[in-house]
Each structure stands twice: as C-alpha cells, then as structure tokens.
Amino acid sequence: MTYNILNGGEGRENYILSVVQAVNPDIVVFQEIDSEEFLKKLAHELYMGYFFFGNGNQKRRVAFISRYPVRSWQSNHSFPTWRNFVEAEIEYQPSRIFRLIGVHPIANLSIIFEIWRWLEMASVIKRYQEYNHEACLIVGDFNAIAPYDQVLIELMPGWLKFILYLQGNRAYPFSIKRLLLAGFIDCYRFITTDSGFTLPPPKPNTRLDYCFVNDKMQASLKNCWVVYEPPIVEKASDHYPVVAEFEFL
C-alpha cells in the first residue's frame, strides 16, 4: 500500500489506522510522515516493523512499515530530491528479495515543477540501475499525471485551474513518462482502464498515486486498486491509498 496521510496525520491517527487495518497490507509506504512516534505506534498496532528516517530535506518524509523482514534500508535526500526517497530490500520468502522504492516528488502541476519531478525520477532511475537485475517496486504520491490519464479540471480548485489554463489546460507527463521509458509498468493501468483517481475525497479528480514494477516483478502482479472503502477513508486524508497485490511462486 502507498498512502499520503496529509501533514503527518495529525488528529486523524485513528482514521488512518482503521483504513490500513481494513486492507491489511504486508507493507505500507507513507508520505508526509513527520513523527517517528506516530509511525511507531501505528506499526505496533499492526504488528509490523517500522522504518523512519531522520534525514531529509523537508519536515514531512517518506517512511514505511513492513510485516516482511527487511534486509537493508536507507533514505536518499541529495539534490534534486525535494523530500527523500527510501529504498529497502524486502525478504518475501527465505533468501528471496525484491527492491522497494518509495517516493514523494515535489508538488504542483506547473511545467516548472514537472521538470523538477523529471529530474527526481532520473535520480531514482539512476539509483535503480545499480540493481536492475532484481525485482523492483516503486510506489508513492508522484504528484504527476501519467501520459495516458485524464483529469477533471472542472472539479479542481481555482488556483490549479489557472495554472493549467496558462498551459493550455495541459498537465505535462514528463516524469511518469521517464519511468515508463525506463521499462517500468504502471500496475493500476496494467489491471484496468478505470480512472483510478486518488484525490481529493469525496469527489476525486486526479490520479497522483501509483505503483510501478519492473519486468522482473510484473509476472507476480495479481491485482491493483484504489482504496475507496471503508467510508472512513474520506476523513483519513486528502488522498485515497493505492494497493498492489502480488503472488510470488
């Protein structure tokens, strides 16, 4: 599961816990975590290990919890990474691993920020190339539109409508396209052509949250969906979580 919990989840901790419990994932990559204590409590309630990283360029960071053993983990936050991106070796079966990368690039649909996101994705891909022989999963709030996706501009706030108006009502897809050209597969689009909008509740207009896999992990992909239930998910955050399910042989 990938889940942007909005501003550290302050005041919505029980809602967030209820959403995660309803799905019962083995791994959750969070965006906008700002408290190790919150992550620790959440992991304790779910009987999972937690991995919080004190380094980063911003207060709100990417972090994760896991039911599987984690053989190694680290956080990267050097330029051009706006916040941090995390990577870990997950042991899903004895002596068998996949590489997990969690991201949260800079926000805003302006072309200037999309170019920055392109640079961030280039940095992630460069890192990935060191172990491209492994199965790899990249998840997060990418703050970007995929080249094949539509957005409902009429449901967006006025300031965002104005930005897109200045761009000819276009949201440029450079950063997601960069991942696709590197050989990654959009799990949700591999499963369905539904819109898959992930924010904001209760009337989402955009898909910003994704799960991508490389070819070595694609064969294990069983399903991918946006978590629209239970109803408490609409109070938990300004994003709906996304889940990818795998069946390893």
pLDDT at 170 over 90: yes
Q: What is the mean pLDDT of residues 70-77?
A: 95
Res 49 pLDDT > 90: yes
Residue whose C-alpha is closest to residue 166's, from 109, 105, 107, 106: 109
Sheet containing 49-51, strands listed edge to edge, beginning at the edge strand earlier in sequence: 49-51, 61-66, 27-33, 2-4, 242-246, 221-226
Per residue in 86-130, pLDDT tens? 999 999 999 999 999 999 999 999 999 999 999 999 999 999 998
Alpha helices per DSSP H over the chain: 13-23, 36-46, 111-128, 158-166, 174-181, 187-191, 215-218, 233-236
Q: What is the CA radius of gyration of the chain?
A: 17
Q: Per-residue confidence at 47, pLDDT binned at 50, 70, 90?
A: very high
Q: Please determine, for residue 2, whether its predicted confidence score (pLDDT) is greater than 90.
A: yes
CA 88 to chain centre: 14
Structural domains counted in the chain: 1
pLDDT over 70 percentage in the chain = 100
Question: In this model, does residue 55 exceed pLDDT 80?
Answer: no
Residues 112-125 as b/e (b if ≥16 CB within 10 A, e otherwise) read: ebbebbbbbbebbb
- Indicate the SS3 state at residue 48: coil
First to last CA, the chain: 21
Q: What's the CATH number where 241 sits?
A: 3.60.10.10
As given in the structure block, the two tokens for residue 163 are 């930005």
State if pTM tops 0.95: yes
The mean pLDDT of 34-44, rounded to a whole number, is 95
State the residue range of the domain holding 81.
Answer: 2-246
Residue with tokens 């919990």: 5
Tokens representing residue 98 in the block: 């996949």
Q: Flag whether pLDDT at 32 surpasses 90.
A: yes
Q: Which residues pair with 31 in a beta bridge?
A: 4
Number of H helices and E strands in the chain, helices first, is 8, 12
Q: Are 63 and 140 in contact (CB under 8 A)?
A: no
CA distance 56 to 165: 33
Contact 76, 56 (CB under 8 A): no
Distance CA 144, CA 141 (A): 8
